[in-house]
Structure 1
Amino acid sequence: MKYSDINHVQNGFPDAFLWGGATAANQIEGAFDKGGKGLSTSDMAAYKDPYITGKVNNFTFNVTSKELEKYKTDPQNILFPKRWGIDFYNRYKEDIALFAEMGFNVFRLSVSWARIFPTGLENEPNEEGLAFYDKVFDECAKYGMEPLVTMSHYEMPITLTEKYNGWANRELVGLFEKYARVILNRYKHKVKYWITFNEMNMNLNSLYTGAGILADLVDNQLQAAYQASHHQFLASALAVKAAKEIIPNVKVGCMINHIESYAKTTKPVDQLQSLKSNQLNLFYPDVQARGEYPSYMTRYFADNNINLDIKEGDDKILQQGKVDFVSISYYMSHVTEAREDASKLAGSFDSPIKNEYLKLTQWDWPIDSIGLRIALIKLYDRYRLPLFVAENGLGAKDAISIDGKIHDDYRIDYLKQHILEMREAIKDGVDVMGYTTWGCIDLVSCGTSQISKRYGFIYVDLDDAGKGSFKRIPKDSFYWYKKVIASNGNNLE
C-alpha cells in the first residue's frame, strides 16, 4: 500500500471490477463428436441416477479401466450428459446475447483440449476446433465482454488416459505446453485473461476427473495424485511463461477449490488440525504463486510415504512460471477435528462433520458467506496478489411456476450474502478483481452429471436424460443480477 492510500478505504467495488458468470466446455458445449473433436475424459462420465440410489451427492467423478472399456465398446444405453451439454456449440450466440443483456463484462469459459488436439498426440491442431472458439470470442467482443479462459477444466483427450494413464506420466507436460502455445498464439488478440488449470487441488478427490488417471491402475492413489500435480505444476508454469512471451499485458492465474477449514472446538489439537487442513488446500497456490514447494509439505510427504519424481531444473521452471493472480471457487467451508481419519479428510471435497450454525443446500452443502470473506482476507495476506472469485453459486431444483416463470429467491439470497461479504473483504483491503458466478446458465453438473442440479440465471429446458426443448428462460435471478452489475454491486435488493 502506498503512503497516500493509508487513509483511504475502498468502500465498494472498484470501477474496473469484472462481473460475469462461469462455465466449462465439457458442461455446456455438447457436440462431442462434431467439428473434428476427439473423445475426452469428461465424455466418459456416466450418469448415475441419485434418486434411485438415494445418494444426493452421487458423484460420477471416477472411472475405472473396466468401466472405460465398457463405455467405449458396449455402453448399453448408459447416459453421458456431458456429451450433449446444453448445446452451447450451436447456441453460443443466443447465450452470449443473454449474458450481455445482464451486463456481463467478463465471461469465464474453457477450451476443450480434445477439440484442438483430438487425441492430444497430433502434430497440427484441428482448425475447425480453433475456428469455433474464434467465433465465440468474437461474439464476446461484440458486446465488450472479456473472455476469462481456462486451458484445462476437468477434461483432456481420452487417448492420453489410455496411452499414458493421464498426468501420472510426465509426457503430458510437453503435450500440454504444445496445446497451450497453440491457443495462446491463436487468440493472443482476443483473450488477455487466462487460468491454466481448474481447481487443481481436486486431484486429491478424483484422480480421473482432475488428472485423467484410472485409479485402479495405480498402487498408491495419494502418491499418484501428488505426482500428477507436480506434472501439472510444470505444465502450468510453462504455459504462464509462454503467455508472457506471446501476449503483451497478459494476466494468467491459478485456481483452487477453496474450502475454508474451521476447528470443531478450541482444543489445541483441533486448531492444529484445522491449520494443517488449510495448508493442504493452499499447497496448490503456494507452488503456483510463490514458485516453489512449501516447507510444510516435506513432513507431509514423509509421513505419507510419498516420494515425488522431481527432475533437475524443475525448480527453475516453477520459479519462471509464477501466476499473476489467484482465483478460487468458493461454495462452502469445512469443520475439522483431530481424529483417526483426519489426514484422509484434509483436502476432501465434503466433510462429514457438519457445522451446526450453518444451513445446508438441497445437496447438503453448508452455506457460509462469511467464510468467503475470511478466505479472501487470508489469501490476500498470504500472496499479495489480486484475487478472482471464479466460481460461486447455488445448485438447486428449480421449477417453472404456473405463471411460466422461475422464481429463485433462494439463489438471489445466496448470491446476495456472498457478494456482500466480498464487498466487505474489499473494504478490509483485499484486492478482488472479479466475480463470475458458477453456472450462469443451467449446465450439466460436474460432480453428479445432472442438469436438475441447476445453478444458472437462465433456465434450460432439459432433463437429466437429455430430453427437452433446450429453450432458454431467464429466471428472477437474471433480472436481479442485471441490477447488481448495473450498480457495480451497490444495488443488491
Structure 2
Amino acid sequence: MHKVRTEFPKNFLWGGATAANQIEGAYLEGGKGLSTSDMAAYKDPYGEGRVNNFTFNVSSEELEKYLLNPEKYNFPKRRGIDFYHRYKEDIRLFAEMGFKVFRLSISWARIFPTGLEDEPNEEGLKFYDDVFDELKKYNIEPLVTMSHYEMPIELTKRYNGWMSRELIPLFIKYTTAIMERYKDKVKYWIPFNEMNMNLNSIYTGAGVLEDKVTNVIQAAYQTSHHQFLAQAMTISNGRKISKDFKFGCMINAIESYAATSKPEDQLASLKAGQINLFYPDVQVRGYYPSYMIRYFKENNINIVQQEGDNEILKNGTSDYVAFSYYMTHMTEHREDMRDIAGRLDSPLKNPNLEISEWDWPIDPIGFRIVLNKLYDRYQIPLWPVENGLGAHDKVVDGKIHDDYRIDYLRKHISAMADAIEDGVEIIGYTTWGCIDLVSCGTSQMSKRYGFIYVDQDDHGNGTLDRIRKDSFYWYKKVIESNGEKLI
C-alpha cells in the first residue's frame, strides 16, 4: 500500500514568491525595454469608496496617453522596491529566514527589450546571472517564472499581444535564450503565471488591448490557445536543453462552493470548477477536455487552430501543477454565471467566512480541498507557489506586529499538513510577496504581504529601508522545524 505521509518531507522547499514587475524597478536600466506592466498607472482606490479598485486593464487610449506624457502619471511598477539594486540585501534576509527556494520571474523586456531583437540583451542576462549566483551562495533554489504578467509593450502595439500567433516564435526565442543561459543554475520553471487569469484581464495576462477585440471571452480563450502552444513548445525544447529541468503549469486556484443544495446550484459549481481546471487539464493531459466543446458552442467561441497544434500540446505536458491560493467563492444558478465563472473578484460572498481588508474570503479548509482535488485529478506533484494575506501594516516604534498575517499563514500551513496526511504529494510552499511589493491588481504598496516591510508608500515616498516584521521571525521557526512549530 502507498505510505501516507504525516509530516512535511525532509526535502520540502519552504520559501517565498515575487514577480519582476512588482519588485525590480530600474524599468529602463540595463538595456531593459518598456513592458506592459510599466503601463499600469496607479488609481486611488479610495476615490471610488472601495479598496478593490483594480488597475488590471489598459485601453488603447490610455496606452497612447501613457506613452506620450508619462510624467503625468504614477507608475508604481516602474519603481517596484528597487530589488534591481538591492537584491543582495534582500536575498540575505531570505537566507536569514532559512529559505530553501525563492520564486522570482524574469522580465522578458529585460532580455529582449522590444521582443523583436535577434540577440538577447547581455546586460539583462548578466543581472539574472548575478541574482542566481547570490541565491546559490545561500543554497537557495530558484523557481523561475518565465512570463509573469508582463511582456514587451512593443508586442502589444504591433500585434495586440497574444491575440497574434506571431508571438509564439518570439516567446520561444526568449525562453530558449534563458534556458540555455541558466541551464546550470535553474531547475524549476513555470512558463506562464496564472494563465487562467486571462479570463479576468487579457491585458495583464496576454498583453491584449480589450477595446481592440470584438468578443472579450473569445479573445481570452484564443490568447490562451497561443500560450498553451508556446508553453508546450518551451517544455519540449527545455527537455532537450537539460534532462534536469522540471516544468510546472500554473493557475489561480479558486474553489467554488454551491450556494445551496439545489441541483441547479450544484451544477453551476461543477461548471465553475471546470472553467478553472480547463487550464491544467490542457497543460497536464495534453489535450482540450470534452466539457469545453459544449461551453465553446454555447458561448459562440471558435478557437482558431492549425494543423499540428494537437501534437504540440500532447508533447509538451507539465511535470507538476503550481498554483496560487487566496480564496474560495460561492456559486449559484443565475443568468450572469458565465461572466462570474473564473473571476477573481466574485460578487458572491460566503457568509461563513471571514473577509480580508481587500474583500477576499479567508478559507484555510478550502486550501486543503483544492490540494486534494488537484492531486486526485492529476496524480502528479503539486506546488502552492502563492498564498498570503494582503493587509495594512503599521510601524510602531520601528516594529511591525502582524499577528493577523501569522494567524492566516499558520492556518493555511496546517491545512497543507492535513493534505499531506491525506496523501497529497507537495514539492514546496512559497508565500506570496515574502517582501513587501507593488500589488498586481491595485498597484498599491499599502497592500502588504511580506515578512519584510519596505518603507515606501503608494506614491513612491519613503527610504526603502527593509524592516523585519514579527512574521519574519515566526516563519524562520516554521522553516527551521520543517513545519512543526506553527505557534
Give the structure-2-normalised TM-score: 0.99
Q: CA deviation at 1:248?
A: 2.1
What secondary structure, in the 3-state scheme, does the structure 2 residue paired with 1:52 have? coil
1:192 aligns with 2:187: yes
In 1, the alpha carbon distance for the partners of 2:79 and 2:107 equals: 14
1:367 aligns with 2:392: no
Q: CA deviation at 1:373?
A: 0.3
Which of the numbers 296, 306, 311 marks the counterpart of 1:311?
A: 306
In 2, the alpha carbon distance for the partners of 1:375 and 1:119 equals: 38
Q: How many residues align?
A: 487
In 1, the alpha carbon distance for the partners of 2:376 and 2:98 equals: 31
Aligned to 1:442: 436
Q: CA deviation at 1:350?
A: 1.3
Map residues 382-397 of structure 1 onto 2, 5 A cutoff. 382-397=377-392
In 1, the alpha carbon distance for the partners of 2:72 and 2:291 equals: 48
Moved over 3 A (4+): none
What secondary structure, in the 3-state scheme, does the structure 2 residue paired with 1:148 have? strand
1:311-350 alpha-carbon deviations (Å, 9 max, x no partner): 1100000011000000000000000000111111011111
Which of the numbers 14, 38, 43 marks the counterpart of 1:43?
A: 38
In 2, the alpha carbon distance for the partners of 1:55 and 1:292 equals: 41
In 2, the alpha carbon distance for the partners of 1:366 and 1:85 equals: 27
Aligned to 1:454: 448
Q: CA deviation at 1:76?
A: 4.8
1:262-296 alpha-carbon deviations (Å, 9 max, x no partner): 00000000000000000000000000000000000
Give the letter for the 2:65 counterpart.
Answer: K
1:355 aligns with 2:377: no
Q: CA deviation at 1:77?
A: 2.2
What secondary structure, in the 3-state scheme, does the structure 2 residue paired with 1:69 have? helix
Aligned to 1:467: 461
Give the letter for the 2:17 counterpart.
Answer: A
Aligned to 2:406: 412
Aligned to 2:107: 112
1:382-431 alpha-carbon deviations (Å, 9 max, x no partner): 00010000000000000101x31000000000000000000000000000
What secondary structure, in the 3-state scheme, does the structure 2 residue paired with 1:464 have? coil
Give the letter for the 1:438 counterpart.
Answer: W
Aligned to 2:282: 287
Alpha-carbon RMSD across the aligned residues, in angstroms, is 0.6
In 1, the alpha carbon distance for the partners of 2:210 and 2:349 equals: 29
What secondary structure, in the 3-state scheme, does the structure 2 residue paired with 1:182 have? helix
In 2, the alpha carbon distance for the partners of 1:12 and 1:320 equals: 35
* Unaligned runs of at least 5 residues, structure 1: none
Q: CA deviation at 1:139?
A: 0.3
Give the letter for the 2:239 counterpart.
Answer: K
Q: Percent identity?
A: 69
1:151-205 alpha-carbon deviations (Å, 9 max, x no partner): 0000000000000000000000110011000000000000000001000000000
1:248 aligns with 2:243: yes
In 1, the alpha carbon distance for the partners of 2:47 and 2:260 equals: 37
Map residues 104-253 of structure 1 onto 2, 5 A cutoff. 104-253=99-248
Give the letter for the 2:173 counterpart.
Answer: K
1:341-363 alpha-carbon deviations (Å, 9 max, x no partner): 11110111111111011000000
In 1, the alpha carbon distance for the partners of 2:196 and 2:319 equals: 19
Give the letter for the 1:226 counterpart.
Answer: Y
1:433-486 alpha-carbon deviations (Å, 9 max, x no partner): 110000000000000000000000000000000010000000000000000000
Give the letter for the 1:26 counterpart.
Answer: N
What secondary structure, in the 3-state scheme, does the structure 2 residue paired with 1:436 have? strand
In 2, the alpha carbon distance for the partners of 1:25 and 1:55 equals: 27
Q: CA deviation at 1:370?
A: 0.3
Aligned to 1:322: 317
Q: CA deviation at 1:54?
A: 1.4
Which of the numbers 218, 239, 257 marks the counterpart of 2:252?
A: 257
Which of the numbers 416, 422, 430 marks the counterpart of 1:428?
A: 422
Aligned to 1:336: 331
In 2, the alpha carbon distance for the partners of 1:66 and 1:342 equals: 30
Q: CA deviation at 1:249?
A: 1.8
Aligned to 2:375: 380
1:78 aligns with 2:73: yes
What secondary structure, in the 3-state scheme, does the structure 2 residue paired with 1:344 have? helix
Map residues 260-275 of structure 1 onto 2, 5 A cutoff. 260-275=255-270
1:209-265 alpha-carbon deviations (Å, 9 max, x no partner): 010000000001111000000000000001111111111221100100000000000
1:73-103 alpha-carbon deviations (Å, 9 max, x no partner): 0235210000000000000000000000000
What secondary structure, in the 3-state scheme, does the structure 1 residue paired with 2:72 have? coil
1:89 aligns with 2:71: no
Aligned to 1:15: 10
* Unaligned runs of at least 5 residues, structure 2: none
What secondary structure, in the 3-state scheme, does the structure 2 residue paired with 1:98 have? helix
Give the structure-1-normalised TM-score: 0.98
Map residues 46-57 of structure 1 onto 2, 5 A cutoff. 46-57=41-52
Q: CA deviation at 1:66?
A: 0.5
Give the letter for the 1:417 counterpart.
Answer: K
In 2, the alpha carbon distance for the partners of 1:52 and 1:165 equals: 31
Aligned to 1:491: 485
In 2, the alpha carbon distance for the partners of 1:187 and 1:299 equals: 42
Q: CA deviation at 1:52?
A: 2.0
Which of the numbers 465, 473, 482 marks the counterpart of 2:476?
A: 482
What secondary structure, in the 3-state scheme, does the structure 1 residue paired with 2:362 have? coil
In 1, the alpha carbon distance for the partners of 2:450 and 2:284 equals: 31
Moved more, 50-59 or 424-433: 50-59
